[in-house]
Structure 1
Amino acid sequence: MQDKNRPITITSNGGKSSSTLPLSTSPLPIHSSVLTQQFSDIIRRYKYYCQHIQRLLKETEKSYDEINDTRVLAPEKMSKIHLSKSDREYLDALKTRPLALIICSQSYSGKSRFVNELLNEQLLPESPIIDNNAVVRMIRIKNHPIHGASFSISGSFELINADIMYKAVSWATVPRDDLIVNGTNEHNSLLNNDDNLTDDYEQQETASLEIRKPLELLSDDLQIVITPSNQNLNMKQIYLQITENIVPIFIYIIDQEILSPNDIDELRFFRSIVPNEPILFIRIDQSDNSSNMSEAPCVQTFRQLCDLGFLSFLNTESTDNTSDTTPLFQSDMIDNGLTNFTLFLNYVLKHIDRLTIRAVGILQRSHELCLDLFNDSAFDMARDILITPKRLSYAREKEKNLYESLIALTNSKQNEIQKLILQAVDEMHEVLADEACSLEIPGIELTDQLTVKNARDLKKCTSAIQEQILVRLNETIANKLLDSINVLHDNYIGTLTRCLFSLEGSRDEDESELSASKALQE
């Protein structure tokens, strides 16, 4: 027979821990100082890793800015290595938001019992002071040297000095009327001076109670958030309310033998809206009714959670912790959780390790992509260094061939041009003589024998006749050359086109750009 007082642990990964932080292997009582010390060590190491991650992020952004300023990589390549908006928000959340244990349960009784045991004090009233049908508001517990409490609404304005909204309280256990929505006590010890705050049950969201007091287990970087009970809110509203400005660690207390149909529906809906959030299920029901059942209650509960997809009979924990669409790791279940908190510490340690591993994975992917781009750029530069001298040599050779071809073409047409000029002169000889005789030159005085009077007038007449003859010859020669110019143009263009085609064929042509040979043809 199995000892019924012995803690039973059911985990999705065989109870193995990947952390190197030394934890006590013997069962720790919940009031043990070793528990408090180990819990503080876990949170302290988490914050140290977060600071190191932020330092890596700062150095990464500085390096990317230098790369962008020096134009080493093209802008389209730089856009690939920058962190996405979701990744940047995740890294910023690790820096600015504290960790929070989100305590959920089948009933308020399970939440209050677990929190009181965890804090080792009777902070929350338990049954029968508050029954499981009461409408209980959300509770947030923080560590602070001064004992105080306040009410706040999610998404409301934040005060510059947050201390003024807390009122000093003297109670050790939270009064019932401060927790119950629509309490019957009109003289609430905390609200009797606040006329503007109403607790209308029909509102979509009620004010949450924030408690701060000296708590050895908690620190400035850790909070406890207790979900509201029996409020008229859907699961998505509750999730947004309890996870505001925190990094959540979900803990679900099972204080009954098995999950009820309503519990199963709520868990199924929770998994549908946030499939990447694991949950630690802790059974605290120690009633002995297994003799009347074919299976122990813990086994039945385990099967229910397997059917919901939170747990598995096999080790399905993924080694890829960087995906946003799959859980960081599978949920776990601890039986008789109040008698041994070592397993609880193991889960918290694994959870925050996965958070930091995911953050490091985001930076690693960005660094690897940047290095890949640099490797590609270096390969392209090395290739250019090897082939550029060959391209220059080839271009010089083709340029020389083009020059020689054009010179040969010009020389071959030289005789034809000379023949055209001589032919034009012969044809216009008589016409030019007649035009020279009839040319009127102003400012010239002739003698009776039609001769000029002095050498200056003779020179002026000679210049005018030469100019007239050259103009007429140029017009005639130009008209005769028009036909041969088209032939010469085709020869020149044909030679240039062949050379350009040859040069362009030595590289991969970009079809989106107009090549020089096509432009020359157009």
Structure 2
Amino acid sequence: MLTSVPQEFRKFSSHCYTLRMILKDTSRSLEDIQANLSLGEELKEKLSSNVIGTLNHMLDDCYPGVLVFGQSCHAKAAFINYILEQSVLPLHSNNWRWIRLSYGLVKEVRLTLEHEYEIVEKLQAYEKPWITVPEIDLKRTEQEASADHCQALEIRLNTTFLKDKVNILVPPDYPSEYLSDILLKYLNSILPVIIYVVSDESLNDAHIKEIQVIKETFQDLPILFVSIMESDGITTSESLTESEQHFLQESSNNQSSISKSEQPNKKIWHLRNQLINLGYLSKNENNIFPVSRSFCTECNNSLICDYECKEKFVIFVQHTFKSYLLNMASMLSMIHNECLKSFILTTFDMAREIQITPQRIKYAQMTEAGLYRSLMDIAGKKQEEIAKIIQSTLQDMKQNAGEILGDCYNEGSNSQQPSAKPTTVEIQQVVLNKLGNYVAGQLVQSVGCLHENFTGTLQRCLENLEKNCKDQDGNVLASDAVKKIISAAYSIELKSSTSFSVIHSFIERLRKFLHSFQMPWVACSPQQYDFTWRLQTVINMLDSLSSSKLAKTVSTQFQEVVRSSHEAFQSAMRSLENQLSGKLERMEEQRIAIRKQYAPRFARLALESTSLCDLVQWGMPVLSREIGRGQYGVVFACERWGGVDPCAIKSVVPPDDRHWNDLAMEFYYTRTIPEHPRIVKLRGSVIDHQYGGGCSSAVLLIMERMSRDLYCGLRNGLSWPVRLQIAIDVIEGIRYLHSQGLVHRDIKLKNVLLDNDNRAKLTDFGFCIPEAMMSGSVVGTPVHMAPELLSGHYDSSVDVYAFGILFWYICANQVRLPYVFEQFHNKEQLWTSVRKGLRPECLPIFSKACWNLMERCWSAAPEDRPPLGEVQPILETIWRKATVDSPATGKIRET
């Protein structure tokens, strides 16, 4: 009924307040992240500021209102008078100003500009009491001919319909070309419920253009078309004949089209067909959604008759408000989920960086040390080999002395020189350059294998370590030092005066040595320096060179370069290690902050926003009988909710913020797990703030209802093949969780649920968490907890250990504790014994294959436990054998 409209506005206002509080917490948290975390800028780029700005505008600056358009002022007046149940607006009128009707304790009228500034003007409504607003006060003046200067008539009424901040707005009846500008200018702060009132049998071109402008302005918002049957107002059901009422009631319930010949009211069906042809109505749906139907964010346009207005107008308002709420809550939920995804990925990257960086440093130091030792070995222990290389080179040069001179002199030339010294210097330069090139080439070949062994991986490792520490403190980079070491052996640049080459240094020393005394082959008297003389000079010079001395010189110089580069590398690595140590400490601090502070905060916000979506879309679930009780909540049966029938509801009342955060993280991880046949899927959540009479808030987690848990199944008796099938199902579920990067951490009998066919699904993800988000907290059920859980350093293999204990129960076909565990009076004694190696006893009914599998799964060392991909084939082999041995009791497993 129309009296329910204020209630819908009240509910909408309440939900908007909740969203406003969530948005403020979200904005504060994002500012905190941007100020304190390295991923703050990355999140800022991912989350467009337009999203937060749009939400702030919708929640802080906007208010809901019924926006009434129509074919004429008469049609709009008839509709408004009907829903207000009084003749407020004159029927036969036109050329209206803006009209806004709102609630007031005293009936009054005032004129405003842009709905804000009151205009002091004498209105006829001031002169005497009125029931209907004087027509002259509604009409625009000549000065208001422009759409930019249109004044608004504010009407306040003390009526129930307008309570709870219900506003009705009627735009002025300007031509459609001005309408868009008017709506954008004056309705920027309105969340409209759009009504279009039709009084004629069809729409003309001007009306069609007006509707098109409305759709373009308000994008995807739905429009409720209301057809007025009578010229003097909205028809009531009493004015129809009994047969017409009966037919129209049936047509209201029937969603299929009806032929004109069967219609008692041809007018509305003619209008309906026109709207269908224009694309404003669906052919298969001539009415708005029933209340019981599932709701989506896209609400369709609808057409109703005036006699349906009391019922269907309320539903349309409800659906429009749902659309607003779902869109806003979905935008908030998107922000929260995006942040949580970034947190998880970032903590994975941080954990990997914290773990791998010391290994990279260690690898770089070991590899460079190996390179240094290898080069020093070549320079020291292989000096004789270098001498042989030089001796061989000298012999080759003597045999090809003519070719050496041919590079600088033409054979047979007879040039005159004023003295022997310039010619001798030229010959020295030629000989030494040739010698250097030959020796360098041979030396590079002798150590060439080191290039492949030490360059690629080491260089990439160092560049990765230095990428965030480059050029800090002005120190030499470790990668540059390695390049110098490698350059000493491979990059010999003899022609460059700036080259840091071993052979180049050797040649310079040799040249100084030769210049320090008079050459024995240089005559004191002038002579002709022909080609024969030069050739003899070259041979004499080569004869005078000692290969052993040259080898020693090369070796010494080579060692000096390598040692110097090695010391530079060690210094650079010490500086790099100090920088990375500080960086890793800051990274670990941020990882802890994300895990303990930011992720739980956003998970709680995500729980609130998503729960509001579910509440708006599906309503509050109705709890039925209690079907289970656990450590952290009570499980109730529930009939159909959210398309799940039947479903189970886990009701949890978190006592403090820590439990709220834990529950929120469970909700997020469970909600994001994709559909899988071996995982109980969480279908939705609702926060019940009135739980327990309003003294506390409860989180209702809705999931599919299963038949029983494995504890009850074993207690009631299950055949051996069925139990093996359950074990295989559990392994499949754990493997799937691990593939999603999650660790369950609480595999036990009560967390394995069975359906009507005794197929198993994992549930209760209260301790489920990504590996990188694990803080080392001690969680789980004592009997199923791996020894390393107590140390705080563990990984996904704890689920393999827990499965080993679970498999003991499955094979034993009992729920009683293993005998060796029953003797302990508290969990501390049990944990102490488990750390020392105590495990469940082997029962006589266990096969060797089953017992071996259990022992491997609950091995003390995590690395000794088998991967689940190996466990599953073993179980399947045992299952196949069991079905052959007892085919009557075994179920053939689906593939």
Instruction: State the TM-score, normalizing by the size of structure 1.
Output: 0.64
Partner of 2:853: none
Give how far 1:163 is off: 11
CA contact (8 A) 1:112 1:125 kept: yes
Give how far 1:360 is off: 0.5
Partner of 2:35: 69
Partner of 2:194: 250
CA contact (8 A) 1:135 1:231 kept: no
Partner of 1:228: 172
CA distance 1:74–1:43, shift in 2 (3 Å): closer
Does residue 1:311 correspond to 2:281, yes or no? yes
- How far apart in 2 are the matches of 1:361 and 1:57? 12
Partner of 2:376: 407
Give how far 1:109 is off: 0.7
CA contact (8 A) 1:254 1:285 kept: no
- How far apart in 2 are the matches of 1:258 and 1:148? 36
Give how far 1:243 is off: 1.6
Write out per-residue CA displacement over residues 335-362 of structure 1, whole angstroms, 9 at most, x where no aligned residue: 124x541211011011101111111100
Corresponding letter in the other structure for 2:59: L
Write out per-residue CA displacement over residues 23-73 of structure 1, whole angstroms, 9 at most, x where no aligned residue: xxxxx4xxxxxx32x222211111110010011111112222222222142
CA RMSD in angstroms, aligned pairs only:
4.4
Q: For 1:135, which of 66, 85, 95 is the aligned residue?
A: 95
Corresponding letter in the other structure for 2:91: E
Q: For 2:313, which of 344, 365, 369 is the aligned residue?
A: 344
Does residue 1:59 correspond to 2:19, yes or no? no
Write out per-residue CA displacement over residues 73-119 of structure 1, whole angstroms, 9 at most, x where no aligned residue: 25234321x34315522443233322111111111111111111111
Equivalent positions of 1:18-417 (< 5 A) are 28=1, 35-36=2-3, 38-73=4-39, 75-80=41-46, 82-86=47-51, 88-127=53-92, 130=93, 134-154=94-114, 158=116, 169=126, 170-182=129-141, 199-201=143-145, 205-219=149-163, 221-230=165-174, 234-286=178-230, 296-314=266-284, 321=297, 328-337=298-307, 340-388=309-357, 390-411=359-380
Corresponding letter in the other structure for 1:218: L
Give how far 1:142 is off: 1.6
Q: Give the match's secondary structure for 1:104.
A: strand
CA contact (8 A) 2:111 2:119 kept: no
Q: Give the match's secondary structure for 2:162.
A: coil
Partner of 1:428: none
- How far apart in 2 are the matches of 1:498 and 1:268? 73
- How far apart in 1 are the matches of 2:343 and 2:25? 18
CA distance 1:112–1:392, shift in 2 (3 Å): same
Partner of 1:432: none
Corresponding letter in the other structure for 1:239: L
CA contact (8 A) 2:144 2:151 kept: no
Corresponding letter in the other structure for 1:356: L
Give how far 1:398 is off: 0.7
- How far apart in 1 are the matches of 2:122 and 2:369? 90
Structure 1, unpaired ranges of 5+: 1-27, 29-34, 183-197, 322-327, 418-479
The structure with the larger Rg is 1
When structure 1 is superposed on structure 2, of 170-179 and 388-397 the one drifting more is: 388-397
Q: Give the match's secondary structure for 1:280.
A: strand
- How far apart in 2 are the matches of 1:209 and 1:264? 27
CA contact (8 A) 1:205 1:233 kept: no
Write out per-residue CA displacement over residues 238-260 of structure 1, whole angstroms, 9 at most, x where no aligned residue: 32245242111110111122223
Q: For 1:502, which of 457, 468, 493 is the aligned residue?
A: 457
CA distance 1:222–1:108, shift in 2 (3 Å): same
Q: Higher helix proportion, which one?
A: 2
- How far apart in 1 are the matches of 2:306 and 2:379? 104
Q: Quick one: higher RCO (CA 8 Å, sep 6+), 1 or 2?
A: 1
Equivalent positions of 1:448-463 (< 5 A) are none
- How far apart in 2 are the matches of 1:499 and 1:220? 78
Structure 2, unpaired ranges of 5+: 232-239, 245-259, 387-431, 471-476, 492-895
CA distance 1:502–1:231, shift in 2 (3 Å): closer
When structure 1 is superposed on structure 2, of 400-409 and 354-363 the one drifting more is: 400-409
CA contact (8 A) 1:144 1:212 kept: yes
- How far apart in 2 are the matches of 1:166 and 1:400? 97
Give how far 1:203 is off: 5.8
- How far apart in 2 are the matches of 1:342 and 1:258? 24
Instruction: State the TM-score, normalizing by the size of structure 2.
Output: 0.39
